[in-house]
Amino acid sequence: MTSAAFSLLNIFTFYLLTVIFLVTILSKILGGYPFMSIDLEDRGHALENEYFHRKEQELIQKMKAHMAVENAKATAMKCPKCEGTLMEADYDHIKIDICDKCHGAWFDAGELTQVIEKDKQGGWFGRLFG
């Protein structure tokens, strides 16, 4: 090894040790390596953003479910007699609408005839209308 190359290696080693020394001193003053603290800060912000994004998505899902229930209520058939909601019920395989408040039974076109036909064998419905 020539003396010039040896001297260059010495300068490089001195430079490297100086940088390590300065970074160590800076880390003692700042309470952590500066470049690491920036990375941790970024990670903290990313986690925070992810948390709020997840919370927003949960709220959006809850609002969508709530809106679906409200829409179903709004489009549900109202009782012609009172403010109740008509619920579909099965009467001997015939769908009739029963009010949840006054318990009135409402028939669609042809349903009453179907009920009478089924009841003609002696049921009270058949005797009443047949």
Q: Whose CA is closest to 83, among 108, 102, 106?
A: 102
Q: Is 78 in the site for Zn ion (CB under 5 A)?
A: no
CA atoms within 13 A on the CB side of 25: 6
Among 96, 97, 99, 115, binds Zn ion (CB under 5 A): 99
Contact between 97 and 120 under an 8 Å Cβ cutoff? The reply is no
Residue with tokens 């800060």: 41
Q: Is 82 in the site for Zn ion (CB under 5 A)?
A: yes
Would you say 62 or 81 has its CB closer to Zn ion? 81
Among 81, 95, 120, 127, binds Zn ion (CB under 5 A): 81
Q: Is 96 in the site for Zn ion (CB under 5 A)?
A: no
Binding letters toward Zn ion, positions 43-72, x by CB under 5 A: ------------------------------
Q: Is 87 in the site for Zn ion (CB under 5 A)?
A: no
Q: Is 126 in the site for Zn ion (CB under 5 A)?
A: no
Give CA separation, 36 vs 21, 52, 59, 118, in Å. Answer: 17, 24, 35, 82
101 residue type, one letter:
K
Closest distance of CB 102 from Zn ion, Å: 3
124 residue type, one letter:
W
**Two tokens at 117?**
């036909």
Residues that bind Zn ion (CB under 5 A): 79, 81-82, 84, 99, 101-102, 104
